[in-house]
Structure 1
Amino acid sequence: MKEAKRLNVSGNVQGVGFRYFAQMTAVEHDITGWAQNLDNGTVAIHAEGSPENLERFIRLLKKGNLFAKVHNLHEESAPLEQSTTFRIK
């Protein structure tokens, strides 16, 4: 059963490859959706997948990549958008 999450990630997450990291991590874990920089310096993510894959995806996002420093990740349920890929907006 597929479910969707809306994530808002704050910290040093813009200009450091975080959206690309999210996209590559999503592809590896069969997650679809999108990632977008927001004007307030955070990254918004819409993620769709199985509960288990979403849990793994979110856990990895919280760790960040070599350059990103995640301070907070807010997560809430979201309606399915029936995404077929994970794209960077």
Structure 2
Amino acid sequence: MNTNIIRKHFFFKGRVQGVGFRYRAQNAASLYSVTGWVKNLYDGSVEMEAQGTEEDIDKVVQTLQNSRYIVINDMYVADRQPDPHETLFRIKDEY
């Protein structure tokens, strides 16, 4: 496993549901070779885990922040252990 690979756990609050957030995250992750998952939460927020280089994860988040209809008012980020077996970025079922 590449030693530069990290994993981050995010919670996003704001206008993040019903605006294509999960699909935009999946597309950006694919573009920047980031793996992980994203899902809507019952309280209107979105949860995401992203694994890749710090630079590529930052690019995914920047893509989301710069998206036309998405408004991120609050973002919580925590470090997680990388998963050496993960190979894709997926949209998880809601809630």
If the length of structure 2 is used for normalisation, what is the TM-score?
Answer: 0.84
Letter in structure 1 aligned against 2:46: V
Unaligned segments of structure 1, at least 5 residues: none
User: Partner residue of 2:45?
Assistant: 42
Query: How many residues are aligned here?
Result: 88
| Identical counterparts, % of pairs | 33
Matched, 1:53 2:56: yes
Q: Is the 8 A contact 2:64 2:70 kept in 1?
A: no
Letter in structure 2 aligned against 1:4: R
Give distance in 2, aligned partners of 1:14 and 1:56.
20
If the length of structure 1 is used for normalisation, what is the TM-score?
Answer: 0.89
Moved over 3 A (4+): none
Unaligned segments of structure 2, at least 5 residues: none
In our comparison, the structure showing a higher alpha carbon Rg is 2
